[in-house]
């Protein structure tokens, strides 16, 4: 799919009917309600997958909205515990009010972390665009002061990630590595796919050699092969890492292959009423994803 075509498709987004975006969203979003997401999680558990649940949304406009999102995440931890799903939670700091102030966001995060602690569960703090990196890492470290089972995300496209990793690296670190989904300037971020991939592998080596637990989040199969090679070279047991993918992304049997090697695979399952805006924003932020939309539309389920 040419990138010019993708850009044209994205330019046409406002004119596209909600149903079109809905076709796209259905594949990647587990419904609007927590109950639907938990059903999806249990079904994925039944196929041997771990899950991380995310309530869709970001950049809230008021403390009240941030409070409602916080309450929804607290409730979600209790619902996960009640139904016995093997699922943790991933959330975005701007969804908990980071744009409105770090103190407000931290207070909200602490409520979610407390619910995680009460239910013995883990919290992943997603990484957003580079304007948020410093605050997000500071919030992560605040959370770690009150609960051990909280983990950050580092993005392989950012030049700074290796230094950030060095600052937080320990055997108690649980870090997710991903390429990074936002558009970042060449001054701060690698642009060439091969440079991003090389940095991904370098960060994985740095984190694994430093004793961290590493979640390797990518759909890029050649990159996954390089990571499997690294894991083999380092002779790591499966308890030291997991692979992660987004719900609905076609992986052509690769996930089952990883499972058959005894590796843990976790699926990131987003849900919530904000699916429409979320899907549109994702498409605008990365026009290349528009190519996936079309190919998915015409692919048989
Ligand atoms: C579990 C998980 C958590 C993430 N958390 C964050 C985060 O906290 N912060 C952040 O900035 N980014 C996050 N990302 C997004 C990530 O940074 C990448 O932007 C995204 O995964 C695409 O990169 P890739 O590694 O899959 O490689 P790519 O080279 O972009 O993709 C490899 C192949 O996978 C397929 N593919 C990739 N994405 C899709 C899609 N959405 N639909 C259909 N096919 C697709 C395509 O066929 C593509 O050729 C996360 C990704 C995953 C899997």
Residue to probe by mutation, ligand 1, list 3, 25, 217, 285, most atoms within 8 Å of CB: 217
In this structure, the number of other CB atoms found within 10 A of the CB of residue 221 comes to 12
Among candidate residues 54, 126, 135, 164, the one labeled active-site is: 126
> Contact, 143 vs 123, CB < 8 A?
yes
Q: Whose CA is closest to 153, among 129, 171, 131? A: 129
In DSSP notation, 148-205 reads: S-EE-EEETTBTTHHHHHHHH-STT-EEEEE---S---TTTB--SHHHHHHHHHHHHH
Residue to probe by mutation, ligand 1, list 49, 87, 132, 181, most atoms within 8 Å of CB: 181
> Contact, 213 vs 173, CB < 8 A?
yes
Separation between Cα atoms, residue 36 and residue 271, nearest integer Å? 8
Distance between Cα 117 and ligand 1 center (Å): 29
Atom of ligand 1 at shortest range from CA of 179: 17
**pLDDT 10s per residue in the chain (301 long)?**
456 766 776 676 666 677 777 776 777 899 999 999 999 999 999 999 999 999 999 999 999 999 999 999 999 999 999 999 999 999 999 999 999 999 999 999 999 999 999 999 999 999 999 999 999 999 999 999 999 999 999 999 999 999 999 999 999 999 999 999 999 999 999 999 999 999 999 999 999 999 999 999 999 999 999 999 999 999 999 999 999 999 988 899 999 999 999 999 999 999 998 888 767 766 665 666 666 655 555 544 3
> Contact, 30 vs 247, CB < 8 A?
yes
Q: Map out the domains of the chain as residue ranges.
A: 1-29+277-301, 30-271
For residue 32, give the 3-state DSSP assignment.
Answer: coil
* 55's tokens: 């309530």
Atom of ligand 1 at shortest range from CA of 220: 32
Atom of ligand 1 at shortest range from CA of 245: 53
Distance between Cα 127 and ligand 1 center (Å): 13
Residue to probe by mutation, ligand 1, list 29, 153, 179, 267, most atoms within 8 Å of CB: 179
CATH level 3 topology of 30-271: TIM Barrel (3.20.20)
Residues with CB under 6 A from ligand 1: 126-127, 153, 155, 178-182, 217-220, 244-246, 249, 268, 289, 292
């Amino acid at each position: 799919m040419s990138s010019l075509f993708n850009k044209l498709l994205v330019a046409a987004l406002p004119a596209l009917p909600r149903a079109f975006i809905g076709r796209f969203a259905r594949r990647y979003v587990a419904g609007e309600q927590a109950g639907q997401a938990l059903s999806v999680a249990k079904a994925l558990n039944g196929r041997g997958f771990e899950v991380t649940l995310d309530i869709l949304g970001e950049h809230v406009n008021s403390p009240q909205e941030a409070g409602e999102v916080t309450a929804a995440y607290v409730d979600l931890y209790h619902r996960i515990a009640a139904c016995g799903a093997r699922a943790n939670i991933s959330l975005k700091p701007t969804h908990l009010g980071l744009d409105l102030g770090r103190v407000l966001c931290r207070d909200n995060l602490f409520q979610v972390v407390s619910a995680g602690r009460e239910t013995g569960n883990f919290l992943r703090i997603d990484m957003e665009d580079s304007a948020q990196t410093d605050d997000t890492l500071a919030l992560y470290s605040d959370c770690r002061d009150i609960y051990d089972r909280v983990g950050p995300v580092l993005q392989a496209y950012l030049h700074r990630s290796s230094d950030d990793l060095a600052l937080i690296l320990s055997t108690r670190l649980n870090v997710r590595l991903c390429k990074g989904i936002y558009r970042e300037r060449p001054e701060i971020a690698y642009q060439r796919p091969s440079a991003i991939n090389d940095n991904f592998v370098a960060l994985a080596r740095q984190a694994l050699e430093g004793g961290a637990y590493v979640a390797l989040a990518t759909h890029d199969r050649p990159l996954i092969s390089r990571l499997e090679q690294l894991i083999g070279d380092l002779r790591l047991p499966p308890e030291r890492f997991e692979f992660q993918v987004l719900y609905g992304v076609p992986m052509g049997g690769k996930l089952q292959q990883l499972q058959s090697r005894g590796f843990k695979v976790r699926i990131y399952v987003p849900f919530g009423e904000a699916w429409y805006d979320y899907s549109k924003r994702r498409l605008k932020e990365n026009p290349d994803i528009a190519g996936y939309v079309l190919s998915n539309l015409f692919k048989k389920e």
